Structure 1
């Protein structure tokens, strides 16, 4: 795993196995982070040094290094510090926790391998007219719902993403294709309504909003899935569609995203 600036993001075991602990500078270097970050983790109650020397230097033993590895993994998965603290407190069995992290990492490794293969396939076919029938599924394999993993976990937690991810991976290829067709059809209908000048507060806009909320509620891990919809979640999604051009593209661009947002806002307001 790497940090956003490309540095190694696993805590490598020091080669000198006879030592009992390592200085804050050594641990920071091995983890690809900074001493300031480690001191901040201490201030937040996440990672205390195992001892402080007479000169005020902080030292970390093997148990502290294992805990740091868990913190870095959780941070890389998109959790804020309060969520990291909750996760650490909720699973004190280090082995079990690291097995969970390993499962996430292997899933990410698989996704990246599929993306690499799909890009290689596209490169091989570009400029070759005889291969004009390259399938979209071959070019887009690995570029599924996990594209927005960070957003999901940052906004609604890793459990929400894990539930949705498990649901998605449990589908057959035909079931995934059906779901993607439904999603594309919904996005196209939203875009068409926006282009037609329909009123997002009117019957057409509200019918689409009702359909959209039902579509969301069928996805495990979404707040209120299978129950009464979470209105804050619905409103927040509408705002996110407008704020993020990647989401707006699903609805014909910013204008379409604003139409979706306004319709969802009206839908939620009628249920307060």
Structure 2
């Protein structure tokens, strides 16, 4: 908080009104009131006029909430994670550790992608495994949680956690195979409505079902996934660019309308 913040003092320490907390930390007053409503962040006190005030313990908790939100965790998961209270110093230290871990993972991914790019620019042929070496399997967590709910992502994560190292490698290979087959069909100009392309989409739907812990995506969910493939440049890049993604999008919608309606 800067010196201009309307800081007040009371027995037990300093506190700040909701408008200043909102201005200094980012969430709107409305968001802070929503946090209060769901029991995620309660004010230190509510004045007779209804104004909310927050002390250092509340700011410590808010810091942890914002740190976890930055990692795309939903509020329900954050509420569970905050069951054990922490000091502001500990919250900052935990946030720093998470950022450093993300930095290391990002650096490794950058190195893998850079190697792929350098190799392709030099004209050397690469295997599909090498091309996708920099692919981050967790990068779409936010989209999955937001579009299809926490259960879809958590079932997928649990499924991976229950695998041994060799099983995970086999699982990764299957993911590469499924997506490489769709990409190849699009690049080859196959008819999206034709039987070969539709068989690949059916295989893709079964793959998604497995990743969702056995819950098959319905018509709305699978069509939404098809839309994401063209709306998100990261997905489009996985399939070799926007034109390929649009072809795969069309094939998925045809299959979904025929088999999931």
Aligned with 2:147 (options 155, 169, 172) = 155
Structure 2 SS opposite 1:270: helix
Q: Quote the offset at 1:94 in angstroms.
A: 2.6
Q: Structure 1: which 5+ residue stretches go unaligned?
A: 1-15, 128-135
Equivalent of residue 219 in structure 2, options 228, 231, 238:
231
Inter-partner Cα distance in structure 2 for 1:182 and 1:253: 21
2 CA distance for matches of 1:52 and 1:184?
Answer: 55
2-side partners of 1:155 and 1:105: how far apart?
A: 29
Q: Is the 8 A contact 1:115 1:140 kept in 2?
A: no
Normalising to structure 2: TM-score of the pair?
Answer: 0.66
Cα distance change on mapping 1:91 and 1:185 into 2, 3 Å: closer
Give the structure-1-normalised TM-score.
0.64
Q: CA deviation at 1:78?
A: 3.1
Please, what is the CA RMSD of the aligned residues?
Answer: 4.4
State whether residues 18 and 54 of structure 2, in contact with CA within 8 Å, keep that contact through their aligned partners in structure 1.
yes
Superposed, 1:41-190 pairs within 5 Å as 41-42=32-33, 45-46=37-38, 49-53=43-47, 58-61=52-55, 64-65=58-59, 68-69=62-63, 71-73=65-67, 75-78=69-72, 84=75, 94-95=83-84, 110-116=101-107, 119=110, 140=133, 144-190=136-182
| Cα distance change, pair 259–17 in 1 and its aligned pair in 2 (3 A) | farther
**Structure 2 residue 26 is the aligned partner of structure 1 residue 33:** yes
What is the SS of the residue equivalent to 1:147?
coil
Structure 1 equivalent of residue 243 of structure 2: 255
The separation in 1 between residues aligned to 2:11 and 2:111, in whole angstroms, is 42
Distance 1:62 1:18 in 2: 10
Closer, same or farther in 2 for the Cα pair 1:158/1:263, shift >3 Å? same
- State the match for 2:3 in structure 1: none
Query: Contact 1:239/1:261 (CA < 8 Å) preserved in 2?
Result: yes
